[in-house]
Amino acid sequence: MEKSLRVLAALLGYPDAQMRSYLGEMRALLRDERAITASRLAELDALMDSLQRAEPLAAEADYVELFDRGRATSLHLFEHVHGDSRDRGPAMIDLGQTYEKAGLILAEGELPDYLPAVLEFVSTQPPKEAKAFLGEMAHIFNAIFGALQQRESAYASVLGGLLELAGEKAQPVKPAEEEPLDESWAEPVVFDGCSSKGQAKPGQPQPIQVVRKSSPQGPRQGART
């Protein structure tokens, strides 16, 4: 699972020349580890093929348009949970401290809740804990998955792969037009335990919790060891 998580993190990164130069290696790693089903691998192959064929500037412009123009497809997880609330800043600080204690350093200008960075952190955890972490975030993955499917984007395959690694079924959530996703989830308990609630010691698994409200309801660099 570790290699597959890192490949999926890389595929969600900015598709610059360096990222695209690793696509062949990414294919091999996914196939060697065999953590993702053959049908999903075929979809990921299609995404990588499209990135290889695309004009560099077009691939980069499409990426920005897809992931940086609204909440529904944002790769910053706190955008879906905290939105613009004042809880977002402290949550960022706590998550950054979690990375530091695990020996991970974010690239300059990268935010802790950027999904590729989160995935690289999760890839450092034991398989059982890594799967549990992904499961806690499955409802966000499904929301992004649904938004990407609605846009007919091949990037949906990456979120589908993450859901498979979490042991969850891809169940796309249809995003409400112009409605921020953070209204669907509780704000306080995100990456619970990152600071005052029992920070794990270096080398120990760090619990991550992303929960709903109880009422109805490669690549650009991320974290590195």
Angle (CA) 40-41-45 rounded to 5° is 120
Q: What is the mean pLDDT of residues 88-117?
A: 78
Structure confidence by residue, pLDDT tens digits, 171-195: 766 655 545 444 444 444 445 444 4
How much is the pLDDT for 88? 66
Q: Can you tell me the mean pLDDT for 52-62? A: 94
| Selection from 7, 49, 10 nearest residue 28 by Cα | 7
Please report the pLDDT score of residue 25 as a whole number. Answer: 95
Answer whether 146's CB lies under 8 Å from 172's CB: yes
Give the C-alpha separation, 6 to 120, whole Å: 6
Give the residue with greater pLDDT, 222 vs 14.
14
Alpha helices in the chain (DSSP H): 2-11, 17-21, 23-33, 38-53, 56-67, 77-81, 88-101, 115-122, 127-136, 138-150, 156-165
- Average pLDDT of the segment spanning 96-121: 81
How much is the average pLDDT of 135-153? 92
CB 149 within 8 A of CB 43: no
pLDDT digits (tens, 9 = 90+) for 153-173: 999 999 999 999 999 887 766
Q: What is the pLDDT of residue 95?
A: 75
Q: What is the pTM of this model?
A: 0.73
Residue 90 pLDDT class (50, 70, 90 cuts): confident
| Higher local confidence (pLDDT), 224 or 99 | 99
Q: What is the pLDDT of residue 107?
A: 75
Residue with tokens 């990164």, as numbered in its chain: 13
